[in-house]
């Protein structure tokens, strides 16, 4: 199983420079673990791409549908007091946004707070750096 933040998920649905590498990671291990808010973050990115006229409304609908299909197969870390408590601590240690602290907290709880050897997929440099400092193997 591999933890994916929302930036790591996006190249699975929008063709970009990291899409092939992210697809290779998923092909090797299709057992994705994500934070419960990742779907919302991805939908927000899709809507931004539509507003910027990079994709049209039909493409956005198709991409949303594909994400919802994939979502049925991933493990989702739900919100809760444990996630909030760990996120609060992470904000004291790393320069993260609130959402990124929640994603990293979800990953840490998934790894039973023992991230060594667990893979974390992210294209966000600040989140990747924090995940690496916490002990995750960060890809790509």
Residue-wise pLDDT tens digits, 65-89: 999 999 999 999 999 999 999 999 9
Q: Report how far residue 1's alpha carbon sits from residue 5's, in angstroms, rounded to the nearest whole number.
A: 13
Q: Which residues contact 66 (CB under 8 A, 6 or more apart)?
A: 13
pLDDT of 140 reads 87
Residue-wise pLDDT tens digits, 90-140: 999 999 999 999 999 999 999 999 999 999 999 999 999 999 999 999 998
SS3 at position 77: strand
| CATH architecture, domain 2-139 | 3-Layer(aba) Sandwich (3.40)
Question: What's this model's pTM, rounded to 2 decimal places?
Answer: 0.91
pLDDT band at 59, cuts 50/70/90?
very high
Per-residue pLDDT at 36 exceeds 90? yes
Q: Residue ranges per domain, the chain? A: 2-139
Helices 125-134 and 81-93: crossing angle in degrees, nearest 10, is 100
């Amino acid at each position: 199983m591999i933890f994916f933040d929302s930036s790591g998920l996006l190249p699975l649905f929008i063709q970009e420079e990291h899409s092939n590498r992210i697809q290779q990671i998923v092909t090797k291990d299709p057992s994705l673990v994500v934070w419960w808010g990742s779907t919302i973050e991805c939908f927000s990115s899709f809507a931004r791409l539509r507003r910027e006229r990079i994709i049209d409304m039909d493409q956005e609908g198709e991409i949303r549908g594909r994400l919802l299909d994939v979502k049925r197969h991933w493990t989702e870390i739900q919100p809760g007091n444990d996630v909030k408590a760990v996120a609060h601590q992470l904000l004291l240690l790393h320069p993260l946004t609130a959402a990124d602290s929640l994603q990293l907290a979800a990953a840490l709880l998934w790894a039973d707070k023992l991230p060594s050897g667990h893979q974390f997929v992210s294209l966000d440099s600040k989140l990747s750096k924090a995940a690496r400092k916490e002990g995750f193997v960060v890809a790509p």
